[in-house]
Structure 1
Amino acid sequence: MLAPGNWKKSTISGGGQGDACVEVFNGRTHIAVRDSKTPTRAVLTFPAPAFAAFIEGLKGRPQR
């Protein structure tokens, strides 16, 4: 089970109320991602190396 206090909200939010965020849980072997508006719903989990590669792939890409 993922402890509630270990989730971190994204520092970049969508417009408006700033509620278009995701939260990330950094575990030892896996990274979990959830919608900050509905934290009790589905959680996506990824092996830590795969998530790190995903983030590296996003760096340097133009923002929309």
Structure 2
Amino acid sequence: MTAGSARPEGTTSDGRSRDDVALTWHKSSYSNDEGEACIVIAHGPDDAVHVRDSKLAPSARTLTVAAATWSAFVALAVSA
């Protein structure tokens, strides 16, 4: 179980497995059309953002972070 949560890790707030939730993936606007160097992101349930390498999709492993964490990362990247 996740800290502060009464549900098993890997499930959504309505009890479904995160694997059962269809995600809509979006390519970075900075990625080229050849797909050589891009990531894709999807906003998931429970305020989660999923990130994966588009070259390895759909079987790629996914990095999942809280939306607030993703927003902080993007703000830092933009200011760099």
Q: What is the TM-score when the length of structure 1 is the normalising length?
A: 0.75
Structure 1 unaligned regions, length at least 5: none
Matched, 1:55 2:74: yes
Identity of aligned residues (%): 32
Report the equivalent of 2:34.
17
1:43 to 62, 67, 73: 62
Structure 2 unaligned regions, length at least 5: 1-18
The question of whether the paired residues in 1 share the 8 Å contact of 2:52 and 2:63 is answered with yes
Higher helix residue share: 2
CA offset digits 1:8-57 (Å, max 9, x no partner) = 0111125x934211000012411000000111121000011111111111
The answer to which structure, 1 or 2, has the higher relative contact order (CA under 8 A, 6+ apart) is: 1
Higher strand residue share: 1
The question of whether the paired residues in 1 share the 8 Å contact of 2:35 and 2:55 is answered with no
Greater radius of gyration (CA): 2
Report the equivalent of 2:51.
33
Structure 1 stretches of 4+ with a deviation exceeding 6 A read none
CA distance in 2: counterparts of 1:3 and 1:19, whole angstroms: 25
Q: What is the TM-score when the length of structure 2 is the normalising length?
A: 0.62
Please give the root-mean-square deviation of Cα atoms over the aligned residues, in Å.
1.9
